[in-house]
């Protein structure tokens, strides 16, 4: 397939390849399908429970696939392929140590709290546990974060349109964003979930061609390892753990303590257990057992996702005839880390397959953006608008507000999409946001669930201290890079390593402030903690079920799978 470069005004920009009529037809059919689903499901989104929680009628498998698909957006596809090119196989830690323990913990330990309390959101749980002040702080910060995250998805999709279709970046953002706004506004979470399940299969079908044909060209995994070693001599890009004894021995500039405690301990648990973008999908399950199984089912699929996300980045590192550069260093004729996946699609996908691959990336973009936008609408409506602006309106009124918030979220996301250009890669940006908002939130939530002595005032001040300290550490390093050696424990640390340690410190600060303030303030009475704190909550017993139907059985299976992967790629 010949590569061409076309230049034209209006919506055209640099273009690597030309799509055949079959490719274009596949893309058009996809757009028509998702809009059709939105129109069809509009009839099932009449009440607020339907619009924001999909009526709580999803099976464990549907909720589980949606749970994963909400996380498998263009941000994941584009961002981690870029991170694999930038940092090597260390990027796979974000799928393995950052997935198995926290996703199983969410299913077995934290979902009962969320589900039994029937809260609409994580800020809703914080209101019940700590009070209105903590709910307001978490709701505002979470709404802000979802808009920024959605902007990342927009920017990622614009890159695909630019590289593959030759569309101007601004035109690409608006076309895709308005499509998402339409189907989420029509069908709410119902529409988002059903489209996410469809997109999950499209992503696999569309992107799988890259690892298959890429490994064939490289001569298998061993051949790829040889090619990477021939091209990159400074660090080891193909081992998970053996290079983490020192900061300078790996391309991320990180020590194993950053991976285990910063990533596996704080970022992963914080993201998977408190980010309502994903928790909302599990809460849409039809019963508690299904809600507990949803993240565990997703964990199995999550651990094989590196095949279509991390491997393309490694293949690009070993096979592309030119070097990629950070986003901030892109000049005419150069390509950034963020363009790894569309470049590899252009390398391997022919007519038909290319259309499917581009559709997969569009699906990933819409999945990620729809998840953020629907979560934004829920948190804004239930945790900001209803308690502080209009307290006693009809259910229909709040559904209308949710629909208008969807449109508002899209518009705000478009405005934030341009911040991404200030970072080396979109995943560095995403992890920075996680360290700002998710890491301290996890400290507040987990203390509230396991420690009855945590007080309402402590919850607010701990969360505020953790968030402010994380942003302050980031600003400090930007103002004076010498502080990197203090925050990330080494001057050899790269941006991602800094994110991991910053998240760890912000979590520690949040926990310390929460504990100290709790010791000097009055806790809630025991009767107000029922259903919110361990020891004061009665959970349904799975003991009467056959072993293979119990969530803990499938959680143990994930653990075995995880250990095997670590051993193979040690």
Query: Cα–Cα distance between 532 and 199 in angstroms, integer?
Result: 35
Beta bridge partners of 167: 12
φ, ψ for residue 250, nearest 5 deg? -145, 160
* Residue 393 domain boundaries: 21-568
Q: Which one of 12-16, 152-156, 224-228, 502-506 scores highest in mean pLDDT?
A: 502-506
Q: Is residue 15 over pLDDT 90?
A: no
Is residue 4 in a domain?
A: no
* pLDDT of amino acid 506: 95
Beta bridge partners of 12: 167
Number of domains in the chain: 1
Tens of pLDDT, residue by residue over 57-82, are 556 666 666 677 666 766 677 788 88
Domain containing 471 — which CATH number?
1.20.1730.10
More confident residue, 383 or 42: 383
In the numeric block, which tokens belong to residue 26? 């596949």
Which residue bears the tokens 């830690």?
Answer: 93
Q: Which one of 37-46, 247-256, 547-556 scores highest in mean pLDDT?
A: 247-256
Q: What is the mean pLDDT of the chain?
A: 77
pLDDT band for 281, please (50, 70, 90 cuts). Answer: low
Is residue 1 in a domain?
A: no
Q: Is residue 455 over pLDDT 90?
A: yes
In the numeric block, which tokens belong to residue 381? 């409506």
Q: Is residue 359 over pLDDT 50?
A: yes
pLDDT band for 298, please (50, 70, 90 cuts). Answer: confident
Is residue 222 in a domain?
A: yes
Beta bridge partners of 336: 325
Mean pLDDT of 461-472: 95
Alpha helices in 42-168 (DSSP H): 48-53, 60-71, 74-87, 100-105, 111-117, 122-129, 132-160
Is residue 499 in a domain?
A: yes
Q: Is residue 521 over pLDDT 50?
A: yes
Mean pLDDT of 477-506: 90
> What is the CB-side half-sphere exposure of residue 498 using CA atoms within 13 A?
27
Q: What is the pTM of this model?
A: 0.78
In the numeric block, which tokens belong to residue 269? 């648990």
Is residue 9 in a domain?
A: no
Is residue 13 in a domain?
A: no
More confident residue, 47 or 391: 391
Is residue 393 in a domain?
A: yes
For 51-87, the DSSP string reads: HHHGGG-B-HHHHHHHHHHHHSSHHHHHHHHHHHHHH
Is residue 424 in a domain?
A: yes
* pLDDT of amino acid 259: 93
More confident residue, 171 or 104: 104
């Amino acid at each position: 397939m010949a590569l061409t470069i076309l230049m034209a005004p209006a919506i055209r920009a640099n273009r690597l390849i030309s799509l055949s009529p079959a490719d274009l037809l596949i893309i058009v059919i996809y757009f028509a399908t998702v809009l059709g689903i939105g129109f069809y499901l509009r009839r099932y989104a009449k009440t607020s429970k339907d619009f924001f929680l999909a009526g709580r009628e999803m099976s464990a498998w549907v909720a589980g696939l949606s749970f994963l698909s909400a996380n498998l957006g263009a941000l994941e596809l584009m961002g981690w392929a870029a991170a694999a090119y930038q940092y090597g196989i260390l990027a796979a830690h974000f799928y393995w140590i950052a997935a198995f323990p926290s996703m199983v913990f969410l299913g077995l330990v934290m979902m009962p709290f969320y589900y039994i309390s029937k809260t609409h959101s994580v800020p809703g749980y914080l209101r019940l546990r700590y009070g209105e002040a903590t709910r307001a702080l978490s709701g505002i910060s979470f709404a802000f974060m979802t808009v920024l995250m959605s902007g990342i998805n927009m920017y990622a999709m614009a890159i695909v349109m630019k590289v593959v279709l030759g569309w101007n970046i601004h035109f690409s953002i608006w076309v895709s964003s308005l499509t998402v706004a339409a189907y989420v506004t029509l069908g709410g979470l119902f529409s988002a979930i059903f489209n996410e399940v469809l997109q999950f299969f499209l992503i696999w079908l569309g992107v799988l061609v890259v690892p298959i044909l890429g490994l064939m060209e490289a001569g298998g995994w061993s051949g790829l390892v040889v090619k990477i070693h021939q091209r990159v001599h400074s660090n080891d890009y193909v081992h998970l753990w053996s290079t983490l004894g020192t900061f300078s021995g790996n391309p991320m500039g990180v020590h194993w303590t950053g991976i285990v405690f910063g990533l596996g301990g704080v970022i992963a648990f914080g993201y998977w257990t408190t980010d309502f973008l994903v928790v909302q999908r599990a809460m849409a399950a039809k019963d508690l057992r299904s809600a507990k199984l949803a993240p565990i089912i997703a964990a199995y699929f999550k651990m094989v996702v590196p095949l279509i996300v991390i491997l393309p980045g490694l293949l690009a590192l070993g096979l592309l005839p030119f070097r990629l550069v950070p986003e901030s260093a892109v000049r005419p004729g150069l390509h950034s880390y963020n363009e790894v996946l569309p470049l590899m699609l252009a390398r391997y996908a022919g007519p038909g397959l290319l259309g499917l691959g581009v559709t997969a990336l569009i699906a990933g973009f819409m999945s990620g953006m729809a998840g953020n936008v629907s979560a934004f609408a829920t948190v804004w409506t239930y945790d900001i608008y209803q308690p502080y602006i209009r307290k006693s309106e009809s259910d229909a009124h709040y559904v209308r507000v949710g629909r208008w918030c969807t449109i508002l979220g899209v518009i705000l996301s478009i405005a934030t999409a341009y911040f991404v250009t200030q970072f080396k890669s979109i995943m560095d940006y995403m992890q920075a946001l996680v360290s700002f908002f998710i890491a301290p939130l996890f400290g507040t939530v987990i203390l509230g669930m396991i420690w009855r002595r945590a007080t309402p005032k402590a919850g607010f001040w701990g969360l505020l201290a953790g968030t402010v300290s994380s942003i302050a550490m980031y600003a400090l390093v930007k103002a004076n890079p010498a502080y990197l050696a203090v925050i990330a424990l080494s001057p050899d640390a790269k941006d991602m390593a800094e994110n991991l340690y910053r998240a760890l410190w912000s979590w520690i600060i949040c926990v310390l402030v929460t504990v100290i303030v709790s010791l000097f303030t009055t806790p809630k009475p025991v009767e107000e903690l029922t259903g919110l704190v361990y020891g004061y909550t009665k959970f349904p017993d799975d003991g009467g079920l056959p072993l293979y139907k119990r969530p803990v059985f499938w959680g143990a299976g994930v653990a075995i799978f995880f250990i095997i992967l670590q051993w193979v790629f040690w």
